[in-house]
Amino acid sequence: MTTMNFDQMDFDFLEEDEEQTYDASYKVVIADDDKEVHTITEMALQHFEFEGRSLEIIHTYSGKETLKVMTENPDTAILLLDVVMEDTRSGLDVVDYLRSTLQNKMTRIILRTGQPGEAPKESVIREYEINDYLLKTELTIQKLYAALLTALRSYRDLMQLENHKKGLEKIIETSANLFNHTSFNEFLTSILTEMSHFYKDKPSMIYLKYEKQKQSGFVSIEKYKKTIIVAATGKYEPYIGSNIETIRELQFIQDWLKDKEGDKENIQYIDDGFIIKGGTNNQMSNFIFIEGDNNDYDFNLINLFLKNYSLALDNYILNNTISSTQQEMIFALGEVIESHYEENSVHVRRLSEMMFKFATLNGFTYGEAEILKIASTMHDVGKIGIPDLILKKPGRLTDEEFNEIKKHPEIGYKILSKSQLDVLQIAAEIALNHHEKYDGTGYPYGKKGKLIPKSARMLAILDVFDALTHKRVYKDAISVQEAVKYIYKNRGAHFDSELVDIFINHLEDIIVL
């Protein structure tokens, strides 16, 4: 093969510099079957750097070996590629495989040839996606140096565009999914997780909430002006729920918080990290502390993400306030109805807590279990249409009176099914079916087996268990053991056998007394 002409090369611009250590380097693959070309090229580039980053040289000596290396190193910045290696098309085959099969559009390809007749410049540039074409017979160190600088600038710009494109895609994706969380802590943790996509590494992060006044419903109750870690990642996870004033290693954040009033910058650097101010319109001031060197982060993307984050947090708080209010109203209504014909309304709260635990053990998601917890409080709402003389009768009911009682599932369904709220639609389903029995002997319709909604089959077990273990106006309470025996005895008759087994096997985790 014809080698490069280095006879009169000037190396004066490659004077010795003080030894430096760089955070990263650009990968450059030298693909040539001439070992002398490898030696001279590496010697020429040994002090080369671009924007503070050196080169990592990888050597290959055939087209086949080059294909393997490029497959294993998709982050290669430059491929210095000989055209003729084991055959006259080795280099061109590598170009075709890299661009078409590997879909690598980022690596800059500098084609070097000592036999231009095998690969004419005009046809190669027209037919193949290469970035430069150099003849070895005319190649000097200055031309090589200039070609590498041009290629690296192009690679850097392409990578920045690609990273920004991915970052924008991630922001769009994240913004669409910000509300697909069922708890405030889960929502905040998801924000920390998503922000990690804008870093080279995934540092430890803390989300801090400085509360101006107490909030209710979807955040934990806090003391006045106490800063609590409500979500965290990495080494700070053990501190979730803690006041930072009690954490010695976070003294620097305490000092910053004391002086934070009047600060206008959204991002401020402190010690080994930086703090991002939430800037929301609600009654909570929010801070995100991220550990690490600020040079590792793309703050343009972070600032763009924070605009969506702040809006999402405000909306999340508003939505949860509305949702919380709805929940409290439903609970209150359930308790009012229950207290009307019982000595107290604690049954509703107990039943709802047990329903949540039972649901999570039966494959329901956290959000689904929360809905069932709320919906279960309304299972007896239909009793509002039953005369007090029957509801509050201390003794045994007559057949006629019991037939009146048996109307309450349908009354409850008619009341609840008129609402468009999902939780009340599920409440209507439970209300209608919670007195159906697995063997078909229940009421109001005598449904059997799996035709009874699972939510109602679950509630039937819990409702009977709670009724048996607590005193009512017409009966005394029995022990937990006796109640469990009764439920097991009616396994497959009144109750779904599979659900009974789950209930009994997880009794201590479910029951609320």
* H-helix or E-strand spanning residue 291: strand 284-291
pLDDT in tens, 133-171: 888 777 788 888 999 999 999 998 888 777 767 656 665
Model confidence at 214, pLDDT cuts 50, 70, 90, reads very low
Q: Where in the chain is the domain with CATH 3.30.450?
A: 183-318
CA distance 353 to 351: 6
Higher pLDDT, 450 or 333: 450
Give me the DSSP letters along 498-511. HHHHHHHHTHHHH-
First to last CA, the chain: 89
Q: Active site includes 383? A: yes
* Structure tokens given for 104: 């690598």
Q: What is the pLDDT of residue 273?
A: 73
Q: pLDDT exceeding 90 applies to what percent of the chain?
A: 34
Q: What is the pTM of this model?
A: 0.46
Higher pLDDT, 366 or 305: 366
Confidence of residue 359 (pLDDT cuts 50, 70, 90): very high
- Model confidence pLDDT, tens digit, residues 456-495: 999 999 999 998 998 876 678 899 999 999 999 999 999 9
In this structure, the chain runs to a length of: 513
Q: What are phi and psi of 314, to 5 degrees?
A: -60, -45
**Per-residue confidence band for 408, with pLDDT thresholds at 50, 70 and 90:** very high
Nearest to 288 by CA among 222, 367, 199, 200: 199
Q: Which secondary structure element, helix H or strand E, spans residue 205, and what is its range?
A: strand 205-211
Residues 253-276: pLDDT tens digits? Answer: 777 777 654 455 667 777 667 777
8-state DSSP, 450: G
Whether domain 183-318 has CATH 1.20.120 = no
Handedness of CA 223, 224, 230, 234 (dihedral sign): negative
pLDDT confidence of residue 2: 45
Q: Average pLDDT, stretch 125-138?
A: 80
When comparing pLDDT for 335 and 435, which is higher? 435
Residue 120 has what pLDDT? 64
CATH superfamily of the 342-510 domain: Hypothetical protein af1432 (1.10.3210.10)
Share of the chain above pLDDT 70, in %: 66
Take residue 118 and report the two structure tokens written for it.
Answer: 């095998």
Query: Residue 148 and residue 29: Cα distance in Å, rounded?
Result: 12
Mean pLDDT, residues 299-328: 60
The residues pairing with 78 across neighbouring beta strands, listed in sequence order, are: 28, 108
- Quick: pLDDT tens for 422-441: 888 999 999 999 999 999 99
pLDDT at 292: 65
Please compute the mean of the pLDDT values over residues 270-289 and round it to a whole number: 63
pLDDT band at 106 (very low <50, low <70, confident <90, very high): very high
The whole-angstrom distance between residue 258's C-alpha and the CA centroid of its chain comes to 32
> For residue 20, is pLDDT > 50?
no
Q: Give the angle subtended at the CA of 88 by the CAs of 86 and 91, to the nearest 5°.
A: 75
Alpha-carbon gap, residue 247 to 239, rounded angstroms: 8
Find the catalytic residue in 277, 373, 383, 437: 383
* Per-residue pLDDT at 217: 21
Where in the chain are all domains bearing CATH 1.10.3210.10? 342-510
- Encode pLDDT of 184-196 as tens digits: 566 666 666 666 5
* pLDDT reported for residue 212: 40
pLDDT for 224 = 44
* Calpha distance 279→288 (Å, rounded): 11
| Residue 300 in this model has a pLDDT that exceeds 80 | no
Q: Is pLDDT larger for residue 204 or for residue 111?
A: 111
Architecture of domain 12-163: 3-Layer(aba) Sandwich (3.40)
The answer to whether 268 touches 256, Cβ cutoff 8 Å, is yes
pLDDT, the chain, mean: 77
The residue that leads in pLDDT, 384 or 493, is 493
